[in-house]
Amino acid sequence: MSTSVKMVEAPPSYDGAGFSATSFDKVIGMARANSLWPLPFATSCCGIEFMATMGSHYDFARFGSERPSFSPRQADLLMVMGTIAKKMAPIVKQVYLQMAEPRWVIAMGACASSGGIFDTYSVLQGIDRIIPVDVYIPGCPPRPEQVIDGLMQIQELARNESLRRRNTDEYSLLLNSYGIE
Amino acid sequence: MYALTLSLFHSFTLWKMVTEDLSIDAVGARNTPATPEGPVQYVNELTTLNLGPTHPATHGIFQNILQMDGEKIVSGEQTIGYIHRAFEKISERRPFYQIKTLTDRMNYCSSPINNFGWDMTVEKLLGVEVPKRAQYIRVIMMELARISDHLICNGILGVDAGAFTGFLYLFQQREEIYEIYEEMCGARLTTNMGRVGGMERDLSPEALRKIRKFIKTFPVVMREFEALFNRNRIFMDRVVDVGAISAERALNYGFTGPNLRAAGVDYDVRVMNPYSSYEDFEFDIPVGQSGDTYDRFMVRNEEIWQSLRIVEQALENLPEGPYYADAPEYYLPPKQEVYKNMEALIYHFKIVMGEIDAPVGEVYHAVEGGNGELGFYLISDGGRAPYRLHFRRPCFIYYQAFPEMCKGTTLSDAIVIMSSLNVIAGELDA
Amino acid sequence: MLTNEAVAQDIIQQFGSDVSEFDDPFGLLTLTVSREKLIPLLQYLKDHKTFQISFLTDLTGVHFPDSPGREFCVVYHAHSLINNYRIRLKVFLAENDIHIPTATILYESANWMERETFDFFGILFDGHPKLQRILNMEEMDYFPMRKQYPLEDGTREDKIDALFGR
């Protein structure tokens, strides 16, 4: 039995014999952060780098993302990788809408973040024009290390998010600003 | 996009259950409900199935609207253009050397072939003769790119047939190739290591060491991969006689590259119109017989071995000499010269600003890309940017045949056929 | 081994005044053919006993807004795999009569390439089985590769022309 396996640290709590008291926020945040199921929405070059990240060398699965979920219903994290053309935009939005709350979004690469070098008539200039984005990963394409860093940022967000955030007025205002009811 | 076995299996079983229900209904074999007008008459209706654009097994973004009779595909129609990025329009606004950033992103599984193909097109227009050493280095890089391209295709074909292991094995080797790229140019995927007139830098000792190491370690993994797949009963049942296309039809559809060779036509641009000193190397063109998925798989496997052979020969006979052409008006001068030498500074400025004197003319240059004949049709009007640049993208042309190839097969076969065609979205949509 | 002269002579003999502007930039025989004789010429090259130019490599369009009467050009690259011989055919079209017969009756591969050319330039291929936009959205109301249309996305506000030279 190897001892080098690192376990997730339990959140701060009041411990005693036979009990451990902490807030739901922290426990659920910890659970969420370490079991994010990503939906790889790979369109182009960045998808190949994601495959490398998913492969044996960089091993994305170490972060609790063992199962890339290709069904939006069972996914927590939408990873948009690569250029999104205007023709594709409604589909990205549809996929986002199909995901259940809580949901996070990563825009991987320059194209997904801002259109990148493709400032053209056919390319959507950043997916944040249609859906809210939590983490942007720069690079064209980003290295797998950067992708992993982006995922860790999302983990950080998930860990510290209040359980009520998705029910607040601010959140529905944010969604409304993207035309999502 | 890249199916994990589990989810793929899951979706297939679900789909199967649905179709079974439908087919039972369709023939009215069971549970014929009676309405006041009498029993309902069932006609043998087709089911419309929307495959994509975000199906896990459609590599990248393509949509196929299939008409299904039970699990059999009756007809299909593709929609493409989901990542159309207007490469050709951008090329009309960029100086020649800036277009290389586009070619990287065209077939992103084998970027160096695209890059050097573009370099060679411009060299052909400008009339620049590239020294032997640069040509050999290009050959090494292009063949490594071909290996990595075929590794992706065959690895993913395994995944789509339900075998994840091969993919994991091969990706480790792709990382090795990426490291060689990094040694050459610092990037993993957008490998801008060539310049008009030669290479950006010489092969460093470290790069040489990495290539030698790759040549040594890769065959072991490749043999293991082949042992895992080539005569694997389950795999063969999935791919043999699936999606066959005759040589005649393949030619009519404009197939090139491994897919055409699998159908039995030994057309290879490297042999027919040698570029970059390919005539110096000895290698075979593997051909298949029936053009089915298994043949495409085997042709790619064999091409990997042939590419290795070429890399070995190129390394062995690597000529000494300069790695760039003596064409100061097109090739960026070394940085030290720019600081010391007036002329170098002028050339540097002119090249960086894109003010090179390109002659008027039109060129068609083709290279053997990972998927077939990758052509560049360039019209220059003497300006700083091409007047018109058209990419002949092999994927775009042969993907038309997909409905014909999957007609009469089952849905799961269609996935495997698409996978073995190696359609790269970036190249398809440009 | 086919030579450009031999092929050119043969074509001139067969098609006379319908073919013109012979040239061989970088060794590739280039000629202009009238719209009416395009399909017969492709057919002739395909069925020819010795030429056997029976592989359509590429098909694309070019826009020349400054040459009135021949604003659009459709370029065909054909290849004889037997003889390893390539040929380039051009057809010039006027903007107000932008029709050309389809090559899909000879080559299946022309299907999407013609659709792409239609999508980019609005060139109408008569007899095409399904002449619709292929890469761009159906709703698009212009032909983006024509020279007068801008490359850039019109909705960017953060890029100033002075700095980005758009």
Alpha carbons A68 and A50: distance in angstroms, whole number: 11
Q: What is the dihedral of CA A146, A150, A153, A154, to 10 degrees?
A: -160
CA nearest A151: which of A61, A55, A25?
Answer: A61
Alpha carbons C101 and C112: distance in angstroms, whole number: 15
Chains that touch A (3 or more CB pairs under 8 A): B, C
DSSP state letters, chain A? --S-PPPPPPPP-EEETTEEE--HHHHHHHHHHTS--EEEEE-SHHHHHHHHHHSTTT-GGGGT--S---SGGG-SEEEEES--BTTTHHHHHHHHHHSPSS-EEEEEHHHHHH-TT--STTB-S-GGGTS--SEEE-SSSPPHHHHHHHHHHHHHHHHH--TTGGGSHHHHHHHHHTT--
Q: Is B197 helix (H, G, I), strand (E, B) or coil?
A: coil
Percent of chain A's residues with pLDDT above 70? 98
Gyration radius (Cα) of chain B, Å: 24
Q: With an 8 Å Cβ cutoff, is C163 touching chain A?
A: no
Instruction: Indicate the pairing of strand B198-199 with strand B194-195.
Output: antiparallel
CB contact under 8 A, B252 and C120: no
Q: Does C122 score more than 80 pLDDT?
A: yes
Residue for token pair 């969420």: A32
Q: Report whether A127 contacts A111 (CB < 8 A).
A: no
Q: Which residues pair with A107 in a beta bridge?
A: A80, A136
Q: Is C13 helix (H, G, I), strand (E, B) or coil?
A: helix
Q: Rounded to whole angstroms, what are the CA distances from B163 to B157, B415, C126?
A: 9, 14, 47
Alpha carbons C16 and C38: distance in angstroms, whole number: 13
Predicted complex: ipTM over 0.85: yes
Tens digit of pLDDT for each residue in A96-115?
Answer: 999 998 899 999 999 999 98
Q: Which amino acid, one-letter code, is at B217? A: T
Q: Report whether B402 contacts B64 (CB < 8 A).
A: yes
Alpha carbons A50 and A60: distance in angstroms, whole number: 9
**Helix extents (H) in C50-138:** 110-121
A46-50, B170-174, C31-35, C156-160: which is most confident: C31-35
**Which residues lie closer than 8 Å to B129 by C-beta, 6 or more apart?**
B123, B325
Instruction: Indicate the pairing of strand C29-33 with strand C85-93.
Output: parallel
CA nearest B399: which of B417, B423, B419?
Answer: B423
Measured in degrees and rounded to the nearest 5, phi and psi for residue A19 equal -145, 160
pLDDT tens, chain B, 430 aa long: 444 433 444 444 344 444 444 444 444 444 455 566 666 665 668 889 888 787 776 677 788 899 998 889 999 999 988 989 999 999 998 888 889 889 988 998 899 999 999 999 999 999 999 999 999 999 999 999 999 999 999 999 998 888 888 888 888 899 999 999 999 998 888 888 988 989 988 999 999 999 999 999 999 999 999 999 999 999 999 999 999 999 999 999 999 999 999 999 999 999 999 999 999 999 999 999 999 999 999 999 999 999 999 999 999 999 999 999 998 888 988 888 899 999 999 999 988 888 888 899 999 999 999 999 999 999 999 888 999 999 999 999 999 999 999 899 998 899 899 999 998 888 998 8
Q: Pick B171's closest partner by Cβ from A41, A51, A85.
A: A51
Q: What is the dihedral of CA B157, B161, B162, B164, to 10 degrees?
A: -10
Q: With an 8 Å Cβ cutoff, is C104 touching chain B?
A: no
**Where does the pLDDT of residue A145 fall: very low under 50, low under 70, confident under 90, or very high at 90 and above?**
very high
Alpha carbons C38 and C76: distance in angstroms, whole number: 10
Helix (H) or strand (E) holding B66: strand B63-69
CB contact under 8 A, C26 and B84: no
Q: How much is the pLDDT for B42?
A: 57
Q: Is the C-alpha dihedral spanning C61, C67, C70, C75 positive or negative?
A: negative
Q: How much is the pLDDT for B55?
A: 74
Q: How much is the pLDDT for A169?
A: 93
Alpha carbons B125 and B119: distance in angstroms, whole number: 10
Q: How much is the pLDDT for C106?
A: 93
Q: Pick C151's closest partner by Cβ from A86, A115, A121.
A: A121
Residue in chain B closest to A72 (alpha carbons) equals B54
Q: Which amino acid, one-letter code, is at C54? A: S
Alpha carbons A71 and A74: distance in angstroms, whole number: 6
Tokens linked to A126: 């950043």
pTM listed for this prediction: 0.89
Alpha carbons A5 and C162: distance in angstroms, whole number: 55
CB contact under 8 A, B168 and A56: yes
Alpha carbons C166 and C152: distance in angstroms, whole number: 7
Residue for token pair 């219903």: A73
CB contact under 8 A, B254 and C107: yes
CA nearest A136: which of A156, A102, A112?
Answer: A112
CB contact under 8 A, B188 and A143: yes
Q: How much is the pLDDT for B45?
A: 82
Taking each helix axis as running N to C, give the angle between helix A45-54 and helix A144-160, from 0 to 180 degrees, rounded to the nearest 10. Answer: 80
Q: Which residues pair with C126 in a beta bridge?
A: C101
Q: With an 8 Å Cβ cutoff, is C55 touching chain B?
A: yes
Q: Distance from C137 to chain A by nearest Cα, in Å?
A: 6
Q: Which residues pair with B335 in a beta bridge?
A: none
Tens digit of pLDDT for each residue in A62-71?
Answer: 888 888 888 8
CA nearest B79: which of A94, C128, C134, C114?
Answer: C134
Tokens linked to B54: 């975000």
CB contact under 8 A, A45 and B426: yes
Chain C residues whose CB is inside 8 A of the B124 CB are: 26
Q: For residue B162, give the DSSP letter.
A: T
Q: Pick A40's closest partner by Cβ from B2, B86, B426.
A: B2
Helix (H) or strand (E) holding C91: strand C85-93
Q: With an 8 Å Cβ cutoff, is A123 touching chain C?
A: yes
Q: Rounded to whole angstroms, what are the CA distances from A158 to A33, A106, C46?
A: 5, 13, 64
Q: Report whether B189 contacts A45 (CB < 8 A).
A: yes
DSSP state letters, C32-69? EE-TTTHHHHHHHHHH-TTT---EEEEEEEEE-TTSTT
Q: Which residues pair with B390 in a beta bridge?
A: B377
Q: Distance from A173 to chain B by nearest Cα, in Å?
A: 29
Alpha carbons B50 and A48: distance in angstroms, whole number: 25
CB contact under 8 A, C151 and A87: no
Q: Which residues pair with C124 in a beta bridge?
A: C99
Alpha carbons B310 and A169: distance in angstroms, whole number: 64
Q: Distance from B105 to chain C by nearest Cα, in Å?
A: 17
B-contacting residues of A 73-102, CB under 8 Å?
A: 82-85, 87-88, 91, 95
DSSP state letters, B280-334? GS-------SS--HHHHHHHHHHHHHHHHHHHHHHHHT---S-SB-S-TTTSPPP
Q: Report whether A70 contacts B56 (CB < 8 A).
A: yes
Q: What share of chain B is helix, strand, coil (3-state, %, to 5)?
A: 50, 10, 35
Interface probe for C, chosen from B251, B389, B397 (most Cβ of C below 10 Å), is: B397
CA nearest A162: which of A72, A32, A38?
Answer: A32
- Side-chain-side CA neighbours of residue B163 (13 Å): 23
Longest dimension (CA), chain B: 98
Q: How much is the pLDDT for B10?
A: 41
